[in-house]
Structure 1
């Protein structure tokens, strides 16, 4: 049985989108993956799409979603570092990854965030496989 995991931030336009893409790529055998935001936004940040393409992951069809677009209850809720009141979604486990938003910065900031998210997703997958979550 796959664990439902949701990555949530404010706009669902960068960090949570990269986390969703990594988790779908690396954890497809153990995770059912969603991402969403608390506020509407018009696009996934081009820098996020670009740096994920650099590692072979296509986010070209990704688009920002709202909390109402994902299941109303998940097993694991991961907030990305909202800097505002993080949303509540019923879940068995939640954690905040406290990631700085690279939006508006140089492409290297997007790459650093991408790599940090990959490591955190790999750790999440390991914990799910070890039945720690």
Structure 2
């Protein structure tokens, strides 16, 4: 990897919570070296209300994000992706379109907070936990020594990040 600004696409099935949160985290904490995007294989068309509330409470502007289909990016030539990460198991098991830029890929699956049943507090806690897990992984990713890693070594590091369990912290 040569350095500079890296374009990163996060994919999820609905593009309403996990991938949106990952995009928000990277946009805020990418240290001017990363630009985040998100999309879904079957986009919900809106951000999940709990994800929207959480983003707002953490000083992200929810108006900056939208739920969109992955074809939004696979059928264009303007944005070349350096990395594409799936953040849910459903998307990891689907055929992915080809994205411009021959990006490196990895699966960083995290549990779906929208699938949690229970009280409102338990559901909101699931969204906060998902955000924390994604933030930990993205923090490790943005700290990698990109200039000193060859493509194979970088791929190994990306795969390791995806294996971090929900109990591990940076």
- Asked if TM exceeds 0.5, the reply is yes
CA distance in 1, matches of 2:51, 2:95: 22
> For structure 1, which runs of at least 5 residues remain unmatched after alignment?
none
Are the equivalent residues in 2 in contact too, given 1:74–1:89 (CA < 8 A)? no
Q: Match of 1:60, SS?
A: helix
Which structure has the larger Rg over C-alpha atoms?
Answer: 2
* 1:119 has 2:128 as partner: no
Are the equivalent residues in 1 in contact too, given 2:43–2:67 (CA < 8 A)? yes
After TM superposition, list the pairs within 5 Å mapping 1:13-24 onto structure 2.
13-24=16-27
Partner of 1:46: 49
**What is the CA distance between 1:70 and its match in structure 2?**
2.1
Partner of 1:26: 29
Partner of 1:97: 108
Are the equivalent residues in 2 in contact too, given 1:9–1:80 (CA < 8 A)? yes
> For structure 2, which runs of at least 5 residues remain unmatched after alignment?
117-122, 155-170
Q: Say which structure, 1 or 2, has more relative contact order (CA 8 Å, 6+ apart).
A: 1
**What is the CA distance between 1:104 and its match in structure 2?**
4.0
Are the equivalent residues in 2 in contact too, given 1:12–1:65 (CA < 8 A)? yes
Report the structure, 1 or 2, having the larger helix content.
2
Partner of 2:94: 85
Using structure 2 for the length normalisation, give the TM-score: 0.70
Partner of 2:68: 65
**What is the CA distance between 1:92 and its match in structure 2?**
3.4
